[in-house]
């Protein structure tokens, strides 16, 4: 089975994701009995997106990414991919903003989102570029005894609210289309002891990783760490969801 994973390449940290995906595939799937092979492709057009089984929307700047996606006419295809075809998608940082149904602290006049996750994100929660930081996160989904994951936070958003599911009705103002992902929003990671902007110490607990059905989002940048664990975990989810779909199709035919 060959699985094509795309990385949306309009702007931001594209090659870093591709490099880590390659490493994760080599380290975690080389012994796989099912002979899974991966193709990792940059995605800039609807045609390229349609060839993908799964997609990463990287970090960068969501406002810029949205403008470029609109110019290239990619929004409908992205919404179709996430909310109608329910293919696996992972957004990191700006990618998480793009995958949220709502965002606050957006640029004036708002910004267009792909949606999929029934959450409201707060952009730039920790301030500007110079307030970037690294923090150890304990992520249970990687395994109970796993060592902490280095979370790289760069003008990072956080999930400030889990909202009620969107109705699936097209909204001409927000240009939403399709329902959000199936199922409930699961909190996959929190950053404990987060401080307010400008403060040294804090005791807030911020939601920095979420999943809802096929859609996964992280506030931080695993692709900048050299640690393949989250990429390997996500590729495993992609493989499992494709196997599941394959089974459903075969059962339907039987
Ligand atoms: N590193 C990042 O991806 C920053 C995200 C940026 N603050 C945005 O809203 O798009």
Q: How confident is the model at residue 172 (pLDDT cuts 50, 70, 90)?
A: very low
pLDDT number for residue 34: 65
Of 16, 102, 223, 231, the catalytic one is 223
Query: What's the half-sphere exposure (Cβ side, CA atoms, 13 Å) at 103?
Result: 29
Ligand 1 atom closest to the CA of 154, numbered from 1: 1
For residue range 87-123, what is the model confidence (pLDDT) as tens digits?
Answer: 999 999 999 999 999 999 998 888 999 999 999 999 9
For residue range 26-65, what is the model confidence (pLDDT) as tens digits?
Answer: 998 876 666 889 999 999 999 999 999 999 999 999 999 9
Ligand 1 centre to CA of 108 (Å) is 16
Average pLDDT, the chain: 90
**pLDDT of 170 strictly over 80:** no
Q: Averaged over 13-38, what is the pLDDT?
A: 89
**pLDDT of 169 strictly over 70:** no
Of 16, 93, 102, 112, the catalytic one is 93
pTM (predicted TM-score): 0.91
For residue range 143-161, what is the model confidence (pLDDT) as tens digits?
Answer: 988 899 999 999 999 999 9
User: Is 79 annotated among the ligand-binding residues?
Assistant: no
């Amino acid at each position: 089975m060959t699985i094509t994973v795309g990385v949306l390449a309009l702007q931001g940290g594209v090659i870093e994701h591709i490099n880590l995906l390659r490493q994760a595939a080599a380290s975690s799937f080389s012994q796989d009995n099912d002979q899974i092979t991966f193709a990792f492709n940059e995605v800039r057009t609807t045609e390229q997106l349609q060839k993908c089984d799964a997609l990463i929307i990287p970090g960068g700047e969501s406002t810029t990414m949205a403008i470029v996606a609109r110019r290239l006419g990619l929004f409908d295809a992205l919404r179709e991919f996430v909310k109608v075809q329910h293919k696996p998608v992972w957004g990191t940082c700006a990618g998480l903003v793009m995958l949220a149904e709502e965002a606050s602290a957006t640029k004036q006049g708002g910004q267009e989102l792909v949606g999929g996750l029934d959450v409201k994100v707060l952009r730039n929660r920790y301030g500007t570029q110079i307030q970037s930081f690294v923090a150890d996160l304990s992520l249970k989904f990687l395994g109970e005894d796993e060592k902490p994951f280095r979370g790289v936070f760069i003008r990072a958003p956080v999930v400030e609210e889990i909202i009620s599911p969107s109705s699936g009705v097209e909204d001409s103002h927000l240009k939403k289309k399709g329902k959000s992902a199936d199922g409930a929003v699961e909190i996959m990671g929190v950053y404990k002891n987060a401080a307010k902007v400008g403060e040294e110490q804090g005791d807030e607990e911020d939601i920095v990783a979420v999943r809802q059905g096929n859609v996964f989002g992280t506030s931080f940048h695993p692709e900048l760490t050299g640690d393949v664990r989250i990429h390997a975990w996500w590729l495993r989810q992609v493989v499992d969801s494709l196997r599941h779909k394959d089974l459903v199709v075969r059962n339907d035919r039987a």
